[in-house]
Amino acid sequence: MHLPPSIHRPDHRAFGVFLSALLCSGLACAQASYRIATEGTYRPWSFKDEQGALQGWDVDIARALCERMKAQCEIVAQDWDGIIPGLMARKYDMIVASMAITDQRRQRVDFSDKYKDTVSRFVARKGTPQDVSPAALKGKAIGVQRGSIQANYLSQNYREADLKFYDTPQAAELDLVAGRVEYILGNMVTYYVGFMKTTDAKNFDFVGPDLKGGLLGDGNGIAVRKGDAELLAKVNAALAAIRADGTYDRITAKYFPFKLM
């Protein structure tokens, strides 16, 4: 007596579905869950609204990535100067905070594909000479956020200037308006949509050329722990997806009247 083919010859596809269902009946197939750090005081990239909830371009990008990765995510604020140590200490799984990709940082973390460009500029009182070379700014008081690429750039190149380091970009801006520093250096887009739109900035303007590359980085990336190739691949795939379907451009248009890449 011969058995029907469907009985004596196993259906490998059906068996695969059965095996997947069996494995996913436990915790092994639970939805991926990630903790994401952002800076939280860096409007419009990341900031807290009146209810204390995190908002901003980076926060929206992080949420879009989590949706594409089909992951549950918690987004937390972390002081900038401790943001990489926190990642290395496993306080969170990735950093979505407009972090510039630099050789120095690559020694400590792995970066995703670039997800926006970065240009740095000096800001000073209107009428200030356009020469912002290290020689021209010798002895000048310059404000900058500590732990930033701009802080590293100044520390390396403007050693004869009077450098003042601040916890947030806004603190440096306040000291510029108060006259306690003569220049500030930071992200041009941040200044353009933030400080330069305020009444406090009416007597101030950009000075000197666009600054980018080298110590100022090769654009911005999402940071994960060294060697976390699986998560990095998921992030890069999600980035490609939100760029391809228009989500990235829609988020950008919500905050800026121009493209970031």
Q: Which amino acid is at 175?
A: D
Shared domain for 111 and 224, answered yes or no, is yes
Looking at every residue in the chain, the average pLDDT score rounds to 90
Q: Say if 21 falls within a structural domain.
A: no
Residue 30 has what pLDDT? 61
Shared domain for 130 and 210, answered yes or no, is yes
Segment 135-149 shows an average pLDDT of: 97
Residue 17 has what pLDDT? 38
> Which pLDDT tens digit goes with each residue over 164-214?
999 999 999 999 999 999 999 999 999 998 999 999 999 999 999 999 999
Shared domain for 185 and 222, answered yes or no, is no
Where does the pLDDT of residue 118 fall: very low under 50, low under 70, confident under 90, or very high at 90 and above?
Answer: confident
Per residue in 104-131, is it b (16+ CB within 10 Å) or e — as a string? ebeeebbbbebbbebebbbbbeeebeee
Shared domain for 87 and 111, answered yes or no, is yes
With 60 as the cut, is the pLDDT of residue 130 above it? yes
Please check whether residue 31 is in contact with residue 70, taking contact to mean a CB–CB distance below 8 angstroms. yes
Q: How far apart are CA 173 and CA 169, in angstroms?
A: 6
Residue 258 has what pLDDT? 85
Q: What is the per-residue DSSP string for 147-169?
A: TSHHHHHHHHH-TTSEEEEESSH
Where does the pLDDT of residue 78 fall: very low under 50, low under 70, confident under 90, or very high at 90 and above?
Answer: very high
Residue 9 has what pLDDT? 44
User: Whose CA is closest to 239, among 76, 72, 38, 68?
Assistant: 68
Q: Is 62 helix (H, G, I), strand (E, B) or coil?
A: helix
pTM of the predicted model over 0.85: no
How many domains is the chain partitioned into structurally? 2
Q: Say if 209 falls within a structural domain.
A: yes
> Which pLDDT tens digit goes with each residue over 46-77?
999 999 999 999 999 999 999 999 999 999 99
Whichever domain contains 184, its CATH number is 3.40.190.10
Q: Say if 234 falls within a structural domain.
A: yes
**Residue 121: what are its φ and ψ, rounded to 5°?**
-145, 150
Segment 9-23 shows an average pLDDT of: 43
Q: Is 42 helix (H, G, I), strand (E, B) or coil?
A: strand
Query: For residue 61, what are the domain limits?
Result: 31-117+218-255
Shared domain for 149 and 73, answered yes or no, is no
With 70 as the cut, is the pLDDT of residue 14 above it? no
Q: Say if 260 falls within a structural domain.
A: no
Shared domain for 107 and 127, answered yes or no, is no
| DSSP code at position 28 | G
Please check whether residue 64 is in contact with residue 251, taking contact to mean a CB–CB distance below 8 angstroms. yes
- The percent of residues above 70 in pLDDT, for the chain, comes to 89
Shared domain for 210 and 133, answered yes or no, is yes
Between 28 and 88, the higher pLDDT residue? 88
| DSSP code at position 199 | G
Please check whether residue 84 is in contact with residue 109, taking contact to mean a CB–CB distance below 8 angstroms. yes
With 50 as the cut, is the pLDDT of residue 3 above it? no
Q: Say if 19 falls within a structural domain.
A: no
Q: How far apart are CA 32 and CA 136, in angstroms?
A: 53
Residue 140 has what pLDDT? 98
Please check whether residue 106 is in contact with residue 131, taking contact to mean a CB–CB distance below 8 angstroms. no
Please check whether residue 167 is in contact with residue 233, taking contact to mean a CB–CB distance below 8 angstroms. no
